[in-house]
């Protein structure tokens, strides 16, 4: 999708020239009011009468479009609800997305939302860009971009504008990849797409095909991908600045379609399984955001790409595989495949001794059952969990910390391998069991202690209900902005703490 021209203005609402102007409605005593002080008394009274008559609410996702007051240069006003008299940047971002999403296709959209400084203005810009996303897709008539110009009231440095655009563009990239049909984005095509995407950028791309995977001992990817005629791939993306302050590795689950393998899913459960590569898509989006950012943090992205299919060459329940690093795994359920490909990726990442490893995966249905479709489950070592939580707080992302319950670890014991890929005889705590499994592959014998965090995005990766805020139905790009914040803002003191 094309990025619109972005303009800033300090004009009064009445003087802003656009097709639609977005202003906010906020609580006021027992009623509501327009959150824009620069409106003359007559027009303010008229607007108050309109919103009272129409029952416009100061609530999330309350959006109404009305004709502009007489004499205004914008023909239509979009009234968007915010449920606070003093909105935060997160609330501004949400409201801007909701308004632009509902505004429809207009050439020029302007936003005059409340806020006292660059933080709120940047949030309005970012929310509008996120809310304006459209998936062009494979339709006979692809969707056009919903705008040509986006006008935001307020002041911003060019660097803030660039950051907002980079963040939104990264989320668009994630949504595009995840929305792509699985017959159009299998492992080798995913690798080709990523190679083309980073051509000429500061990010280098290295692709491991199935022969290289065998040479490198990546039995998780080869085992999962063995049932498909489309072989697996591992893609390493590297951003390496001069004299980096630290090194972060991102490992993304990239199951381009998940049938469950021989542990076959029910037909209805396969619907939407193109979303099972969201982790790899998220890593791709984050790497795109930092590709030419000038960040002093080195970042390596590992995309673990495979198609999980049933066939005569598929792995069987009861098979024992050897993953990278030499540990053996008894595969008791071929539908618990994401953790197997991540095992290879976590080991490959660990061998380079980064200061922090974060893996992102649509890993367990249990996480979706526990947290719904808006929260990502967060697990890992204490310091890693803390820095991820802080990044989520700064960006308005929704992470929920889970413990790594040690009493569940014994369920992964196996009589014939180092561990099993599911807990035997107990289906409880599936999200935490998966986290305990992944922990086994973080670190190496020479360097066993590496800060690590695991994000289970099985819920928020895909919005199966109606759109809300800046989030469309379908692929959401959730967690991308928090990870961009993480890989661009950590300082030397934080890295020192992570290394302890």
Q: CATH no. for residue 131?
A: 3.40.220.10
The residue range of the domain holding 307 is: 168-499
Task: Let me know: does 249 contact 353? Beta carbons within 8 Å.
Answer: no
Query: Active site residue: 339, 368, 385, 481, which one?
Result: 339
Structural tokens at position 157: 């440095």
| Residues 281 and 335 reside in one and the same domain | yes
Does a structural domain hold residue 427?
Answer: yes
| Residues 423 and 324 reside in one and the same domain | yes
Does a structural domain hold residue 17?
Answer: yes
Count how many domains the chain has: 2
Task: Let me know: does 230 contact 218? Beta carbons within 8 Å.
Answer: no
pLDDT at position 109, please? 96
Phi then psi for residue 380, to 5 deg, are 140, -170
Please tell me the distance from the alpha carbon of residue 142 to that of residue 165, in angstroms, as a whole number.
22
Single out the residue in 95, 130, 154 at which a domain terminates: 154
| Residues 220 and 357 reside in one and the same domain | yes
What's the rounded mean pLDDT across residues 425-444? 95
Residue 278 confidence (pLDDT) above 90: yes
Query: Active site residue: 106, 134, 265, 327, which one?
Result: 265
Q: How many alpha carbons lie under 13 Å from residue 46 in its C-beta half-sphere?
A: 13
Does a structural domain hold residue 162?
Answer: no
Please tell me the distance from the alpha carbon of residue 302 to that of residue 349, in angstroms, as a whole number.
7
| Residues 147 and 177 reside in one and the same domain | no
Does a structural domain hold residue 161?
Answer: no
| Residues 237 and 117 reside in one and the same domain | no
Name beta bridge partners: 399: 376
Does a structural domain hold residue 118?
Answer: yes
- Identify the CATH number of the domain in which residue 422 sits: 3.40.630.10
| Residues 283 and 218 reside in one and the same domain | yes
**β-pair type (20-28, 76-81):** parallel
> Residues 110-151: pLDDT tens digits?
999 998 799 999 999 999 999 999 998 766 555 566 789 999
| Residues 64 and 94 reside in one and the same domain | yes
What's the rounded mean pLDDT across residues 359-388? 98
Does a structural domain hold residue 137?
Answer: yes
339 is catalytic: yes
What's the rounded mean pLDDT across residues 486-496? 96
- CA geometry: angle 352, 390, 462, nearest 5 deg: 80
Does a structural domain hold residue 160?
Answer: no
pLDDT at position 115, please? 85
| Residues 126 and 216 reside in one and the same domain | no
User: 240: closest CA among 163, 294, 166, 169?
Assistant: 294
Please tell me the distance from the alpha carbon of residue 84 to that of residue 251, in angstroms, as a whole number.
38
Least confident of 42-56, 69-83, 338-352, 432-446: 42-56
101 is catalytic: no
> Residues 94-109: pLDDT tens digits?
999 999 998 877 889 9
Please tell me the distance from the alpha carbon of residue 402 to that of residue 494, in angstroms, as a whole number.
22
Single out the residue in 154, 177, 204 at which a domain terminates: 154
Please tell me the distance from the alpha carbon of residue 316 to that of residue 312, in angstroms, as a whole number.
10
| Residues 91 and 195 reside in one and the same domain | no
| Residues 421 and 280 reside in one and the same domain | yes
Residue 259 confidence (pLDDT) above 70: yes
Q: What is the mean pLDDT of the chain?
A: 95
């Amino acid at each position: 999708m094309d990025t619109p021209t972005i303009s800033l203005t300090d004009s009064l609402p009445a003087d802003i020239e656009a097709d639609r102007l977005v202003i906010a409605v906020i609580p006021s005593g027992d009623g509501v009011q327009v959150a824009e002080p620069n409106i003359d008394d007559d027009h303010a009274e008229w607007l108050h009468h309109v919103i009272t008559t129409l029952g416009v609410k100061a609530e999330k996702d309350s959006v109404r479009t009305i004709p502009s007051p007489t004499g205004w240069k914008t023909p239509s006003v979009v009234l968007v609800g915010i449920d606070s008299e003093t909105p935060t940047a997160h609330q501004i971002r949400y409201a801007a997305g909701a308004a632009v999403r509902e505004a429809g296709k207009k050439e020029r959209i302007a936003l005059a939302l409340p806020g006292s400084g660059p933080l709120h203005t940047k949030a309005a810009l970012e929310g509008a860009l996120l809310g304006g996303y459209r998936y062009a897709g494979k339709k006979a008539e692809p969707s056009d971009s919903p705008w040509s110009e986006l006008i935001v009231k307020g002041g911003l440095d060019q660097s803030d504008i660039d950051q907002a655009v980079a963040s939104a563009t990264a989320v668009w990239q994630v949504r595009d990849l995840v929305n792509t049909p699985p017959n159009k984005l299998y492992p080798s095509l995913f690798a080709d797409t990523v190679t083309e995407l980073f051509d000429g950028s500061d990010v280098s791309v290295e692709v491991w095909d199935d022969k290289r995977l065998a040479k490198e001992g990546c039995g998780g990817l080869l085992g999962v991908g063995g049932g498909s005629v489309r072989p697996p791939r591992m893609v390493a993306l590297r951003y390496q600045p001069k004299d980096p302050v630290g090194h972060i590795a991102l490992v993304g689950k990239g199951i381009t379609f998940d049938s469950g393998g021989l542990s076959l899913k029910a037909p209805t459960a396969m619907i939407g399984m193109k979303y099972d590569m969201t982790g790899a898509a998220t890593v791709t989006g984050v790497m795109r955001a930092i590709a030419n950012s000038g960040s002093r943090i080195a970042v390596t992205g590992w995309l673990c790409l495979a198609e999980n299919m049933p066939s005569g060459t598929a792995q069987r329940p009861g098979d024992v595989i050897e993953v990278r690093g030499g540990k053996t795994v008894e595969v008791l359920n071929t539908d618990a495949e994401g953790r197997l490909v991540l095992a290879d990726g976590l080991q490959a990442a660990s061998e380079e001794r980064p200061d922090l490893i974060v893996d992102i995966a649509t890993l367990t249905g249990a996480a979706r059952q526990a947290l719904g479709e808006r929260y990502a489950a967060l697990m890992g070592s204490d310091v890693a969990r803390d820095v991820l939580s802080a990044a989520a707080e700064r960006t308005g992302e929704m992470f929920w910390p889970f413990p790594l319950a040690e009493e569940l670890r014994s369920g992964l014991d196996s009589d014939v391998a180092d561990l099993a890929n599911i807990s035997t005889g107990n289906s409880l705590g599936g999200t935490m069991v998966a986290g305990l499994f992944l922990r086994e592959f973080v670190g190496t014998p020479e360097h066993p202690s590496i800060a690590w965090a695991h994000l289970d995005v099985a819920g928020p990766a895909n919005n199966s209900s109606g759109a809300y805020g800046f989030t469309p139905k379908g692929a959401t790009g959730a967690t991308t902005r928090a990870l961009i914040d993480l890989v661009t803002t950590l300082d030397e003191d934080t890295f020192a703490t992570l290394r302890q």
